Amino acid sequence: MSHLILVRHGQSEWNLQKRFTGWVDVDLTDKGKLEACKAGELIKDLKIEISFYYSSYQKRALETLKLILNTIRVKDDNIIKAWQLNERHYGELTGLNKNEMKNKFGEEKIFKLRRSWDFPPEPLNKNSPYHPLNIETYNDIPRDRIPDAESLKDTYDRVVKFYSENIKNNLNKNVLVAAHGNSIRALCKYLFDLDNKIISKLEIPTGNPLLITLDNNTVKEAKYLDSSRAKDLLKF
């Protein structure tokens, strides 16, 4: 048996402001940092050795992972960063307030843009300061791999490809991944074999580790370590 632990980053500044964040590189709030430290305590209580640590390129996930590792007294110099674990790119919605958009376009359309399987927003203008082409964090990503907008399916394709080619091979040991709401939803869709309609209902809480127990890469059990903030996994 081995374990895969998935952690959505702690609350970010734009989570607090209810803005579509996507690939914009924003910091954690003080609450988000506390959530990350709490996640570390919960993982520490498992008393298991974690051999591999993955994060997206985005600092809210990277800082969450570093705070977790500090809490469990593990050096953070072996973190593997992968842009493929980044949040979904929200296209022209990036930076906009979610509540304002609901009032303007209606809750049904915004839900479709946020949660549908293969319906991307309109692309973000490449001249926008929020476009990843103009964000220093992503300077070493090939420009032709940087999206203007993504559906959940687009996010799924890059996340699962990276998981299958990199993380999966290390699951004879315990692995920790710090990522984002949609990149973790994509992994859950793959690992739990959720269909395209059900995945729209899956909520991923911030800073609450999801412990997945595997046997020969087959999921045997999945549970959130903080049961008071757990969300329905729809299958387990």
What residues does 19 pair with on adjacent strands? Answer: 97
Structure tokens belonging to residue 56: 């997206």
Mutual angle of helices 59-71 and 30-44, in 10-degree steps = 40
> Is 150 in the active site?
no
Q: Are 56 and 81 in contact (CB under 8 A)?
A: yes
Contact criterion met (CB below 8 Å) for 76 and 48: no
What per-residue string of b and e applies to 107-128 under the rule 16 or more CB within 10 Å gives b? eeebeebbbbeeebbeebeeee
174 in the Ramachandran plot: left (φ > 0), alpha (ψ -120 to 50) or beta?
A: beta
Catalytic position from the list 35, 87, 89, 131: 87
Active-site position among 3, 9, 89, 180:
9
Catalytically annotated residues: 9, 87
